[in-house]
Structure formats: C-alpha cells, structure tokens
Amino acid sequence: MREQWGDRKTIDGGIELTVHVRSFLGPRQKIDADNLAAAPLDILEKSGVIANDYWVRRVISERHRDVDNPRIELTITVFDEKTYH
C-alpha cells in the first residue's frame, strides 16, 4: 500500500474522509460487504496513508466478482457534509 501511495504525505487528522472500498472476489470467496471494509481501513492507517482511521466519516463498501483478477480498489476523498443531508 505504501509503495502505491508513493511520496505523498500522510493524510493527517482534522480532515474527515470518505473511503470507497470496491472488493473484487475470486471464484469461491464469500463474505459480507460490511466485513470487507474493516481490513482496508486498518491497512490505510498502518501503511501511513492516513494518520488515523477515526477520521474516516463515511465508508462505502461494494462486493463484486472477478475470477481472473481478485483485488481491492480504494478511493479516498474529502467528506462533503452537503452531499449527505
């Protein structure tokens, strides 16, 4: 994760975030979409991408299937309160 983040700075506290988790499962994997979000949030913190997952205000978790290329895709954006009223 840290390698993919590159030389960008850690997203420090004080900025609320939205993290969109897209999980592409392999042929026999079965797991609930809500359970797919916890590990990626922990990894974002442990790898230094975000300072603390406390600042993740909104999580969107989707489950898909891709038997040829199982993976997790993450998108991090600044949380926008106006969008979610």
Q: What is the CATH number of the domain that holds 56?
A: 3.30.1330.70
Torsion sign across C-alpha atoms 1, 30, 37, 46: negative
Is residue 16, in this structure, part of any structural domain at all? yes
Mean pLDDT check: name the lowest of 8-12, 41-45, 66-70: 8-12
User: How many domains, in total, are found in the chain?
Assistant: 1
Q: What is the SS3 assignment for 47?
A: coil
41 is a domain residue? yes
pLDDT digits (tens, 9 = 90+) for 14-53: 889 999 999 999 999 988 888 899 999 999 999 999 999 9
Contact assessment for residue 21 and residue 76, using Cβ atoms and an 8 Å cutoff: no
- In-domain check, residue 82: no
Higher pLDDT, 65 or 3: 65
Among 4, 74, 10, which residue's Cα sits nearest to residue 36? 74
Q: What is the pTM of this model?
A: 0.84
- Domain of residue 49 covers 2-74
